[in-house]
Each structure stands twice: as C-alpha cells, then as structure tokens.
Amino acid sequence: MHRGAYLVGVAGGSGSGKTTLIRALRDRLPSGTVCLVSQDDYYHPIERQVTDANGKVNFDLPGSVDLDLLERDLRSLLQGEPIYRPEYTFNLPGAEPRWMEIGPARIILVEGLFVLHHPGVRALFDLKVFVEASDGVQLDRRLARDIRERGYSHDDIRYQWEHHVLPAHRDYLLPYRSQCDLHVINEERFDKALGVLCDHLMWKTGVRELAEVQSA
C-alpha cells in the first residue's frame, strides 16, 4: 500500500470538539494538503438502526455506522484514489444529501466516535488523538447544536444523552483513551494543542516548506 499520506484519527465524546479541531487544522495547514473524513457520513439508513427498550433509535452504537466501508475508503485514499460519499443529513425531513468527492491528500484527518473501536480502521492511523471536555460542557454544546441545527427537542437530547451517549462513551471510547498519542483538552479553547498538532503534521509530512512558500 502506498503510504505517502499521513493518517490521523480523532476520537472523542459527542460535543468534545472533534469536527471543530479537524476543520481548524485544515484551515491552518497549507491549502490542498489536507482532506477530511467524517464517520457521520457512514451512518446506515435509519431503517437499519437499532431501537432501545423504549423504541428510541440509538445512533450511538458501533453497528449504526458502516465502519468496514470507512476502512475500505481510507485504504483507497492511501492508494491515491478519491472516494465518493453522500453527506449525512441527520435524518432531517426533506433534506437532500449532496454527493461529496474527497480527494487524496498528504494529510488525512478522520473524526468520529468509533474510529478507534474498529480494529481495521484503528490500525491505519499514524497518529491517534483524543479530544475531551467535561460532561457538562459536552452536554451544553450538544444541546445548543442539536436544537439549532437538527431541530431536536430538549427532552429528546437529554434522553439520548443519558441512555445512549454516556453508555457509548463508557463502552466504546474510554477503553481506547490510553492508546492515543495526544490528548486535546477542549473545555473552552484548544489553541496551544492546535499549534502543536500543526507543527507535528508539517514536520512529519514535509509540508512546512510549502507553508513558507504560500505565506511568502
């Protein structure tokens, strides 16, 4: 397999700031050197999701996501081949998913709840990052996001948090925390960690010279 790319796995609880971190990395690193892959775009259709004892769909289980397909797509990117995925619309009524082409890049940033739980995906990562914040901060962020962007009610979000999110964090995230190379604490800001990660990625991938050219 071609290993010219550097593959980074970013895991962490819901509301910890995984997506915010990889977008900030993309924006700070030289243009064209980064591609982003989100586990969310691999969710199975809602009719294939498991419901709990109260008939509520539980999206916070590894089986809710096609992690085998994610592994195959990551291998395609490592081979220098683009991948094509419909963007996940969080089951919003009337939302039409757009098809995305994700091209290969020197730095591949992959984020998601379960990216460390799947052995095949986990084995591909050159660097594993765990993003964390306190439960209260994560819940506040999830409430703000899901009410604003996804139209969920306060009660539905609290139910998911207590019955789905926290058990998933305990069972499918925390067991891999100690295996990560870098922990990013994101209670309010992660500026220092962002700088450390950028420096590391530029050094490991040889894009520092490109950054100097683009800033000249």
Give kind and range of the element (H or E) at residue 120: helix 119-124
> What is the C-alpha to C-alpha distance for residues 101 and 58, in angstroms, rounded to an integer?
28
Confirm whether 1 is domain-assigned.
Answer: no
Confirm whether 88 is domain-assigned.
Answer: yes
Domain that holds residue 192: 6-209
- 134-180 confidence digits (pLDDT tens): 999 999 999 999 898 878 899 999 999 999 999 999 999 999 999 99
* Widest distance between CA atoms in the chain: 60
Residue with tokens 């739980």: 117
Structure tokens at 162: 């207590």
Confirm whether 214 is domain-assigned.
Answer: no
Residue with tokens 């995984």: 18
Cα 199 to its chain centre, rounded Å, is 21
Angstrom CA distances, 17 to 103, 141, 200, 204, stand at: 24, 9, 20, 24
What's 179's domain CATH number? 3.40.50.300
pTM: 0.91
Count up the domains in the chain and report the number: 1
Confirm whether 48 is domain-assigned.
Answer: yes
Confirm whether 95 is domain-assigned.
Answer: yes
- 21-74 confidence digits (pLDDT tens): 999 999 999 999 999 999 999 999 889 999 999 999 999 999 999 999 999 999
DSSP at 189: -
